[in-house]
Amino acid sequence: MSEREPLFSAKNLKLIREPLGPSNPITVQVLGICSALAITVQLKPAIVMTLSVMAVMTVSSVVISLLRKMIPPRIRIIVQLVVIASMVILVDEVLQAFAYEVSKQLSVFVGLIITNCIIMGRLEAFALANKPWPSFMDALGNAFGYGLILIIVSFFRELLGSGTLMGYQVVPNSFYEFGYANNGLMVLPPMALIVVGVIIWVQRSKNKDLVEQN
Amino acid sequence: MNALRRYLDKIKPNVEKGGKFHFLKSTFEGFETFLFVPNTVTSTGSHIRDAFDMKRGMIMVVLALVPALLFGMWNTGYQHFLALGVEAGFWEMFWFGFLKVFPIIVVSYVTGLGIEFVFAQIRGHEINEGFLVSGMLIPLVMPVDVPLWMVALATAFAVIIGKEVFGGTGMNILNPALTARAFLFFAYPTKMSGDRIWVAGLEKGMETVDGYSGATILGQAAQNNEVFVNGIGEKYTAWDMFLGTIPGSIGETSTLAILIGGLFLIYVGVGSWRIMLSVFAGGAAMGLLLNAFGGNALMDMPFWQHLIVGGFAFGAVYMATDPVTATQTQRGKWIYGFLIGVLAILIRVFNPGYPEGMMLAILLMNVFAPLIDHYILEANIRKRLKRAKVQA
């Protein structure tokens, strides 16, 4: 066996850094779009969603990575789903116990973490073929990348759509007296798609490597 | 003119490659070609060029909009003084409307052209004239009391998200002017629908005559009223609806003014008569069908009346015919127009949330236009292949 790799080697750190930028799960791989549209109306549910996805993803990545040599390839998807689903149920129970209001707001979308393509994608593409620690780093990085976009989108949607941030009013009342009005379109899902689109636009005009050649 | 030419020639070297203001080249070119016919000629190959370029086409549409614009200005004043219960002369009404409408036009042009210029500089493109028409259409589809910052925001949204992200004029999927209106409609519904916004001053709590209501005809029909009355309780005649002395968005009320513009567009060959005709045909067909069933005020509304109230005529003549977003094939134009007419009436009658369906119908069919074209081309290819095989 070769020399032991340090925990925070350059390779492992790259696993965390890459998903924040050039291989972002939402803006580059275009995965997990549905939840990005559904729960980004306000900042708070978006943050809670990020944490939930992070918890589900890291734990199931490590579990799958530990089991990777025992899982028969033909039923690996089912095994992955079982692990993810049990994690999601745990997260759901925790949310209902300690953050009931947010859990009500997120409603069905907590359960739908099971179908979040990012988690399945990372388990399939990474955890099944790598050791637990790199799998953990990879899951963490992708959850950060996912959360980053969620938080940017929900920041703009809550600020412009409701005039609040984390539920506190930030647009001063004097603005409203001058005739400013909240943008109702920001609260509707199509605007989330447009905001994500604008982020993709900005990202690609900064990083030309991401632009598809055709 | 000569002095101007000399001045332009003098500053031209500054914007050429290597000049101090090279980054402003497309701005310079935009103004130069606006003032003078460009002297560039094709150097290789044989080309046949029509003198009819995009600038001329766009100016024709703006000219065609003038009747609707002038009538809209007068009608703004007319509705306002009617609500006030004040007698006013023709010029007084027109002047009032002019003061209300002109700022909206200025805001729409300044915002839109500003963004177009910026994008042209960044991308090193020539400035396109497409916005000349959109900039005039946007004010005409707004209610008169819309706040100016909303006009600016909607214009910016329409130009950036509706047009520039797709690559600028000629590449857009959706009609920019309708994108602007749809943006405001969904973002600020209280400023874009209801009974209080169509007449200047109502919203600000102006002193009106007793029992005044600013509801549009479609608004009244959506309330299931059988008889349509104006603000002071007089019954609207079909003639009122055709002439346009009814409340509504600035430029859309007068079917007569729109028809004059439409005939002009057909005469100069800019607007497609196929689309205009088929939109009206589609609307009439759907109206007739609904008349046969009846049931509520909107379904019972005579089919021809559907065509002269609301934004139907305006959409049919100026919006549906937009050469960029409409279908390109001749047969496709019939289908596209007909479906716009059908959908507009359908949305109008069956969706109580949207008293006017024209905007959504056109935007929806804009999206489907390339699909219609695709199938018509495919069908044509198949037909010709078959013919070739039979002969061989």
Please indicate, yes or no, if residue B290 is contained in any of the structural domains. yes
Please indicate, yes or no, if residue B315 is contained in any of the structural domains. yes
A199 contact partners, CB below 8 Å, separation of at least 6: A27, A149, A152, A153
* Helical segments of chain B, H only: 2-15, 25-35, 54-84, 90-123, 130-140, 148-160, 176-187, 189-192, 217-222, 238-243, 255-268, 273-293, 297-300, 303-308, 312-314, 330-350, 358-391
Cross-chain Cβ contact B187/A194 below 8 Å: no
Please report which confidence band the pLDDT of residue B392 belongs to, taking 50, 70 and 90 as the band edges.
low
Q: What is the pLDDT of residue A214?
A: 62
Please indicate, yes or no, if residue B162 is contained in any of the structural domains. yes
Q: What is the reported pTM?
A: 0.85
Per the structure, how many domains does chain B have? 1
Please indicate, yes or no, if residue B157 is contained in any of the structural domains. yes
Cross-chain Cβ contact A179/B147 below 8 Å: yes
ipTM tops 0.90: no
Three-class secondary structure of residue A164 per DSSP = strand
Please report which confidence band the pLDDT of residue B304 belongs to, taking 50, 70 and 90 as the band edges.
confident
Q: What is the pLDDT of residue B334?
A: 94
Please report which confidence band the pLDDT of residue A2 belongs to, taking 50, 70 and 90 as the band edges.
low
- From chain B, pick out residues whose CB is under 8 angstroms from the CB of A186: 187
Instruction: Give how far A171 is from chain B: nearest CA, Å.
Output: 17
What mean pLDDT is predicted for residues B330-352?
91
What mean pLDDT is predicted for residues B335-346?
93
Is the pLDDT at B189 greater than 90, yes or no? no
Domain extent at residue B142: 54-378
Please indicate, yes or no, if residue B143 is contained in any of the structural domains. yes
Please answer whether residues A196 and A153 qualify as being in contact, where contact means their C-beta atoms are separated by less than 8 angstroms.
Answer: yes
What pLDDT, in 10s, does the model give residues B88-143?
888 988 999 999 999 999 999 999 999 988 888 887 777 777 788 899 999 999 99
Please indicate, yes or no, if residue B46 is contained in any of the structural domains. no
- Long-range (24+ apart) CB contacts under 8 A made by A92-100 are A95/A48, A95/A52, A99/A48
Q: Is A202 on the interface with B (CB under 8 A)?
A: no
Cross-chain Cβ contact A197/B165 below 8 Å: yes
- Kindly report the average pLDDT of chain B as a whole number: 85
Nearest CA in chain A to B149: A180
Q: What is the pLDDT of residue A153?
A: 92
* Helical segments of chain A, H only: 10-17, 33-38, 43-67, 76-98, 100-106, 108-111, 117-125, 132-162, 173-177, 184-187, 189-206
Structure tokens at B124: 């090193």
Please indicate, yes or no, if residue B181 is contained in any of the structural domains. yes
Q: Which residue has the tokens 């049990």?
A: A86
Q: What is the pLDDT of residue A1?
A: 43
- Cα dihedral sign for A140, A145, A149, A152? positive
B236 contact partners, CB below 8 Å, separation of at least 6: B217, B228, B229, B230, B246
Which residue of B161, B179, B186 to mutate against A (max A Cβ within 10 Å)? B186
Indicate the burial class of B59 (C-beta count within 10 angstroms; 0-12, 13-18, 19 or more): middle
Nearest CA in chain B to A186: B187
Q: Is B189 on the interface with A (CB under 8 A)?
A: yes
